[in-house]
Amino acid sequence: LVEIVGSLYKENTFINSLSNALTEEGVLVAQIGGSESISDPPDEMGPGEDTANMMEALQSVFESIHEYDEGHSDFGAPWTYLACFKDSKTRSSWYRNAAEIDIELHRRIAGTESGKPALLFFDAPMMITYQVPSRAKETSYCRKEAKPWECDEYYSGFRPEIANIPVSHVEARKSTSTGEYGDRGLFASQDIPKGSNLDMNGSVKAFHVLPSTWSVIEDLYYNKDDDGVDEGAFATEKLSGVVAFVPGFGYGAKLLGTLHYTIKLGVMTFCNHGCNGTHNIGDWENDFTELNVDLDRAPVALVNKAPVYSPVFDRHLRQIIVMAMGDCTPIVTSVKDRRVERRDNKFARSM
């Protein structure tokens, strides 16, 4: 039996059949055995080799995989399960907040005559715990022989050897590098060394516009009937400021499945994009700008989607660290304009 199970994941015929049996929004749930302890080796070593092969095969077919522990299965100890999403957009359902989960349970679970909960061990707070893998799983994952890069970036948490620059080292003012239409930006008021963290203290106070929240706002704001007639003029008027502010001052991403935003507080709100590579803060460096990027294809770095499977990412999704990519000095550089023909591509229009 062990030989049969092991051979299932050495090529993708079996895994492809599982995916093909699902709808585009389908979810595969699998039980993979007892939960790991903090001292366990990675799956690729020892008796977990078949599990490692299975995970590799699943990642080649599914777009998002999550692992969670459940201690109410009557196995004598917690067991680990996988939730595999065929489409990464379905992640937004996995990351619902407690209020959304309660509403969904009320809608889908029939009530009892006694009035007692129909589910003994599952409710919204329990689902929230599923969203964050265990520390033990993160630790064993980072013990892999080919250590994933995110382990060095996020696993250790705050790294005291990296300088944390306070907000007193920056100032918000109008940008002069983009001409008369320049917006406000954040500028160094004194030298900031390359590789420094910027306002770590304030980063934890950022607020999030979750996928479901932004979806509701957009639906209300762009509420039109089949003929294009605006049926929600009142909502559009009231939400116009929100729709302008959130994308204008927030960081958009699809780490939670569909579009969501994170907005920093205080002076860091004005941390803005510097055109033509003039920005010198961020969490990654790149060699493309508005002037040389392929307008027909957005770079992978800009898509900002989570890996298919990573306990490290799942444990640190809300961690935001703004890092200086180069030595920051109080200098503003000029940029040129790139005028392009009108295109239907949304990415090209934004550029």
Split at pLDDT 50, 70, 90, the class of 319 is low
Region 125-139 average pLDDT: 93
pLDDT of residue 129: 93
pLDDT score of 312 more than 80? yes
Share of the chain above pLDDT 90, in %: 23
Burial of residue 56 (CB within 10 Å: 0-12, 13-18, 19+) is: middle
pLDDT of residue 174: 78
For 95-104, 186-195, 313-322, which range has the lowest pLDDT when averaged over its residues? 313-322
pLDDT of residue 309: 93
Q: Identify the residue whose tokens are 């706002």.
A: 217
In tens, the pLDDT along 157-197 reads 677 888 888 888 888 887 665 555 556 778 888 888 887 88
Q: What is the mean pLDDT of the chain?
A: 79
DSSP-derived letter for residue 325 is: S
In tens, the pLDDT along 53-69 reads 889 899 999 999 999 99
Q: Which residues of 165-183 are buried (b: 16+ CB within 10 A; e: fewer)?
A: bebeebebeebeebeeeee
Give Rg (Cα) of the chain: 24
Region 96-118 average pLDDT: 90
Distance, in Å, from the CA atom of 48 to the CA atom of 59, rounded to the nearest integer, reads 17
pLDDT of residue 347: 52
pLDDT of residue 29: 94
pLDDT of residue 180: 57
